[in-house]
Structure 1
Amino acid sequence: MAVRLLYHYKRSYDDGAILEARVWELDKPVTGSAHRFKYRLFYGLPGHRLVGYDNERGKGDHRHAGRREERYVFVSLERLLEDFFTDVDVLRKP
């Protein structure tokens, strides 16, 4: 399977939080997804995810909010990143 890294961003915050976003383009969809992107978006503390989005093989597109996991409706790559960064902004507000 051909894989191409499209996007990678990592940031460490002064309070210890970590944000990491990776998106790859594949030649065919991951099982459970209808698009050709594989992604892993994480925001949290070391060993503790606060919010994340991914499309793990077989599970399809989903979002993690704390310990909760819920289905995510993938519209576009731009919308996915916008939704993720909006969630991070909400969590970072004092």
Structure 2
Amino acid sequence: MKRGPKAELILKERLELATGLFAEIVIWRVPEPVRGSSHDFKYRLALIENNIGVVRYDNEAGKGDHKHIGVDEAIYQFSGLDTLQADFWHDIERRLKR
């Protein structure tokens, strides 16, 4: 049985920001869009504070592109990887200034 193209890891990093606080970014290029998304990336970006995800961006199958800020969830309008990462870091800055 012949297998189709595989996903390609684009970026995987974990950045320690302070004790108990880190950001994790994982981005894959996928052979076809994840159900609910219209681009060829699968991603998860998260700010974890004391083992709790306080800012998260992802596009899990079925939900499509969305973000979580605390307990709130909102649709995210994906327009490219650079903008995705800039928006993520902007929300982290806002969170840390609270």
Normalised TM-score (structure 2): 0.88
Match of 1:55 among 52, 55, 59: 59
- Output one character per residue of 1:54-94: Cα deviation in whole Å (capped at 9) or x when no partner: 00000000000101111001111110011001111222237
Superposition deviation, residue 32 in structure 1: 0.3
Unpaired runs of 5+ in structure 1?
A: none
Match of 2:85 among 57, 78, 81: 81
Separation in 2 of the partners of 1:28 and 1:14?
Answer: 37
CA contact (8 A) 1:18 1:46 kept: no
CA contact (8 A) 1:53 1:84 kept: yes
Match of 1:13 in 2: 17
Return structure 1 stretches of 4+ with deviation > 4 angstroms: none
CA contact (8 A) 2:20 2:51 kept: no
Normalised TM-score (structure 1): 0.91
Separation in 1 of the partners of 2:14 and 2:66?
Answer: 21
Superposition deviation, residue 47 in structure 1: 3.1
Unpaired runs of 5+ in structure 2?
A: none
CA contact (8 A) 1:7 1:24 kept: yes
The two structures, once aligned, show a CA RMSD in angstroms of 1.4
Separation in 1 of the partners of 2:65 and 2:56?
Answer: 11
Structure with higher Rg: it is 2
